[in-house]
Amino acid sequence: MKKILFLFLLFILVYGCTDKTIKSYSYEQNATILKIIDGDTYLISLNGAEEKVRLLGIDCPDIEKDRMDNFLYLGLSKEKIKYCYEKGKKELEILLLKNVTLISDPLEMHRDSYNRLLRYVEFNNTDIEIWLLERGYARFYDYRPYCKRCVKYQNLYADTVNSRSGCLWNR
């Protein structure tokens, strides 16, 4: 009985992969951003279908109360959070409402619990997560296990906060 259960579990592990599994390799896809939902979530067109994509390794402020709390504990005011949310979203709309490259991470799930694709986003060889962190529109988001770029994002976030630069952190 144990052998049968083991073989069944092995079969599911090998052949039962779904979109929510971790891939062992990274790959790139071209997509068009249709709408900036918020700083870290976009509506995209991918292979003729609409999808939502969530950026890996960062978290941008949101103006919904339960999401705003994630930034209030950092000592930021509601006014500062709302201002940076709006300013960052407007800048992203100018920068990103066009073709971009989505890059998967072999250490991350393919999709999150909201069925959004989990990807890095690049435009003209610019890592959008780094762009957002450098301008103070995002904070590092502590994934476990870390994404491949997370150590770089964590260090950049710490530098931005410590230097009090960017929208959220300047005083």
| Domain 24-162 sits in CATH 3.40.50.150 | no
Beta carbons of 153 and 129 less than 8 angstroms apart: yes
List pLDDT tens digits, range 62-98.
888 777 888 888 889 999 999 999 999 999 999 998 8
Please state the pTM of the whole predicted model.
Answer: 0.83
| Residue with token string 């960052």 | 88
User: 76-80: long-range contacts (C-beta < 8 A, 24 or more apart)?
Assistant: 76/168, 80/168
Residue 168 contacts by C-beta under 8 Å, 6 or more apart in sequence? 61, 71, 74, 76, 80, 81, 84, 136, 137, 139
Residue ranges per domain, the chain? 24-162
**Burial tier of 56 (Cβ tally within 10 Å: 0-12, 13-18, 19+):** buried
Structure tokens at 130: 């780094």
List pLDDT tens digits, range 18-50.
344 445 567 899 999 999 999 999 999 999 999
* 41-46 and 49-55 beta bridge pairing: antiparallel
Name beta bridge partners: 101.
30, 122
Beta carbons of 31 and 46 less than 8 angstroms apart: yes
Q: What was the pLDDT predicted at 67?
A: 79
DSSP element (H, E) containing 68: helix 65-72
List pLDDT tens digits, range 130-167.
999 999 999 998 766 678 899 999 999 999 999 999 99
